[in-house]
Amino acid sequence: MSRVLSMAYLTACDATPQEAVRIAARLGYAHVGLRLLPNAPGAPQQHLIDHPEALRETVALLRDTGVGVFDLEIIRINEGFEPLDYRPLLDAGAALGARAVLVAGDDTNATRLADGYARLCELMKPYGMTADLEFMPWTAVPHARAALSVIEGAGMPSNAGILVDALHFDRSATTLEDIRALPRQLLHYAQICDAPGRARQGRDFTVEEMIHTARCARLQPGEGDIDLAGLFAALPSDLPVSVEVVHLDRMRAMDPAEWARQCLAASRRFVA
């Protein structure tokens, strides 16, 4: 059976939700990821929350094309986190049939972070979506072991999850042994991309460089130095994969569907 592949928001970040669904359907992606809340104040997002007509149109397109919504972005757990503030995102996700919500951990107080995550998972249970905590080296959840610690501190909620992004695996203090040690029930999907490694750079990456690459300059699988073969061998063979490849300079020079097609073809060489 072929692996389920989803087109992440960043792979077609200029597309509306409706355009993203059409691109995914044309190219053979089974799902899309949508960013309905920005990852930083004033950052780009797709507009479905408080846009009922656009939401209805997107739901109709999903039904007509057979494409699903895999994940929604993004919930950030910070010092003043209040899960109820995210009900509009969860309500939109329920209408779209989304399976997961991407969660980032920014609260440096470990106890409060775990409590906030536990409260979020409790709120999300009736919605049928998982809360997938993504470790990122510049956040309060910098590696896979930290993500597991947060979830254990939250009491291992039934809808908890850990999101493994190939870029963050490579640039964080995460080993293949750490990946293999993650409980299977916490793994709902992973993200694939590529990037230059430390050896090519000649030094460690700064936080600013890591953030820039993550948001603006990822490479297609096979173009960089990430051990994608090792990573996806360590992850379950049936794990759905989100193709998350954004390179703003290169994307400006081609049609969005062509970029998404190239990224899908490159990804299939590692996760067919």
pLDDT at residue 204 tops 90: no
pLDDT at residue 93 tops 60: yes
Q: How confident is the model at residue 2 (pLDDT cuts 50, 70, 90)?
A: confident
Task: Show the domain range for 37.
Answer: 5-271
Q: Copy the structure tokens of residue 14.
A: 């200029």
pLDDT at residue 199 tops 80: no
Q: How confident is the model at residue 200 (pLDDT cuts 50, 70, 90)?
A: confident
Q: Copy the structure tokens of residue 146.
A: 């930290």
pLDDT score for 202: 65
pLDDT at residue 1 tops 70: no
For 13-58, write each residue's pLDDT tens digit. Answer: 999 999 999 999 999 999 999 999 998 888 999 999 999 999 999 9
**Alpha carbon distance 260, 219 (integer Å):** 12
For 238-253, write each residue's pLDDT tens digit. Answer: 999 999 999 999 999 9
pLDDT score for 207: 92
Please count the structural domains in the chain: 1
pTM of the entire structure? 0.95
For 153-176, write each residue's pLDDT tens digit. Answer: 999 999 999 999 999 999 999 999
Cα torsion angle, 25, 26, 32, 37, sign: negative
Q: What is the CATH number of the domain that holds 24?
A: 3.20.20.150
